[in-house]
Amino acid sequence: MAPSATTPAQPKGATGCLVLADGSVIWGKGFGSVGSAVGEVCFNTAMTGYQEVMTDPSYAAQIVTFTFPHIGNVGANAEDVESAVEKAVESAVGCVTREDVTEPSNFRSAESFVEWMARNNKIGLAGVDTRALTRRIRTAGAPNAVIAHDPSGEFDLPELLERAREWAGLEGMDLAIRATRDASEKWEGGYWRLGHGYGRADWSNKPHVVAVDYGAKDNIFRNLVRAGARVTVVPAKTSLEDILALEPDGVFLSNGPGDPAATGEYAVPVIQALLEQDVPMFGICLGHQMLALAAGAKTLKMHQGHRGANHPVKRVGEGWGETTGLVEITSMNHGFAVDAETLPDNLEQTHVSLFDGSNCGIAVKGKRAFGVQYHPEASPGPQDSFYLFEKFVGGLA
C-alpha cells in the first residue's frame, strides 16, 4: 500500500498499526499479544477500570480507544476481571492508548498490563493521538479496522486492509452465543471489599434469581447477592422449561455483546413467555434491549455508542414519585439502543440520556418487569444506581 494522505509512511520504531476500512493507517508502538485482530473501533471515556473494560464481554469484537491517556499505570490483578478466564477471549480484542504503558505503581498489582494483555491474547497500540481518533469516530461513526502488533515492524498493509473491509461488522451478529457460559452455575461469589477480597453468597432462605447470561459482567451477580438474592446463572439459550424448573422468584437478563435483534431470535420468545406468566424481570444493557424487543419495541445501531463512566441519565417515569427528574451519573457500554420512537403502549420510558435523549430505561405496564440501558453495577463507574438491585430483589420477597 503506497503512502498517501490517509496512509502515512511507517515511522521509525513503529511496531503496531491500526488499519481502518477506509484505508487510513494509524501507527504506534505495539504491546501485549503479537498478531492481528479485526473489530469495530470505539472509545471509552472512563478514567479508571481499564482491566474491567477489557474483560467486559459486551466489548466482544471491539477495539477500545481509551480517551484517558494513562492506561496500565496501576498494573493488573486477578480480582479486577469482569468475566471468567474462558470468556475473556470473547471480550475486547485490543485497545489503543495515548501514552506508553509504564511500570505498574500500585500495591494491588500482580503483573504489568503489558504482560496481562499478552497472556490474555489482546493487542495494544500505544503512542496514538487518541483525541483525534475519538473526534473521527464522533464525526464518521465507529469504523471497522484491524489492529496489529509485530516487534519486527513488518506489516502486510494490503492484507490487513482487505480483512478490515471484508469484516461484516456488528450489525446482524449474535455474539451473545459466543460470550455466554456453557452450563448452569450456582453463583457463589459475594461483594468485594479492600483487604478482604470477595465474600461468599448466602443461599439460606433468600429470593431465588435465575440470571440469563448473554455475556455478563460478574459484578452484576455480586450485586444481586449483595441485595439479598441467591443466584443461579444459566446459558443464553436456556429454554423456558429449564428456567421454570429452577423455580425462580425472578429472572435477570444480563448485558452482552452484538446486535440485540440477532440475539433476540432465540431470547425474545422465552422472555415473552415469562412476561405472560408474570415472572418478575430485570434487564441490564443487552438484557434491557431483549426485554424491549419482547414487549414490541425495536432496536437500532448507534452512530458512536455510549461508553464511559460519567453518563448523566434522568428519571422520567411516573413510578419514581418525588424522585422523578433526579439525575444519575452512570456507567455505560453499548453500541445499540432501544428506539424510543417504537415503544408500544405497553411500555413506559423511565430513563433518558441527557447526552442525546436516547432511551435508557423501560418498565412493562401491568407487569413486574423493567430494564435499564446503563450499568448500575459500575466496575468501573459511579455508584448512583445500586438501588436498582435492591428495587428488583426487594420486590421478590
Round to whole Å and give the CA distance between 349 and 257.
23
Cis peptide bond N-terminal to 380, omega within 30: yes
Report residue 336: phi and psi, to 5°.
-120, 160
> Scanning the structure block, which residue is given the C-alpha cell 493521538?
129
The catalytic position among 40, 52, 90, 377 is 377
DSSP secondary structure letters along 173-199 = ---HHHHS-SS-EE--EEEEETTTEEE
At 311 the three-state DSSP class reads strand
Whether residue 18 contacts residue 96, with contact meaning beta carbons closer than 8 Å, is answered with: yes
Helix (H) or strand (E) holding 36: strand 35-44
The catalytic position among 149, 288, 334, 375 is 375
The catalytic position among 285, 311, 328, 360 is 285
Catalytic residue flag (residue 377):
yes
Round to whole Å and give the CA distance between 118 and 14.
18
CB atoms within 10 A of CB 211: 24
> CB-based contacts of 125: which residues, under 8 Å, 6+ apart?
16, 17, 18, 26, 28, 29, 30, 31, 94, 95, 96, 97, 147, 149
DSSP secondary structure letters along 46-107 = -SS-HHHHHT-GGGTTEEEEESSS--STT-B-SSS-SS-GGGGGGS--EEE-SSPPPPP--T
* Alpha carbon separation from 297 to 284, 288, 341, 355, 362 (Å, rounded): 16, 11, 9, 22, 11
> Nearest-CA neighbor of 179 among 214, 141, 155?
214
Torsion of CA 54, 309, 335, 52, to 10 degrees: 20
Catalytic residue flag (residue 285):
yes
Catalytically active residues, by annotation:
285, 375, 377
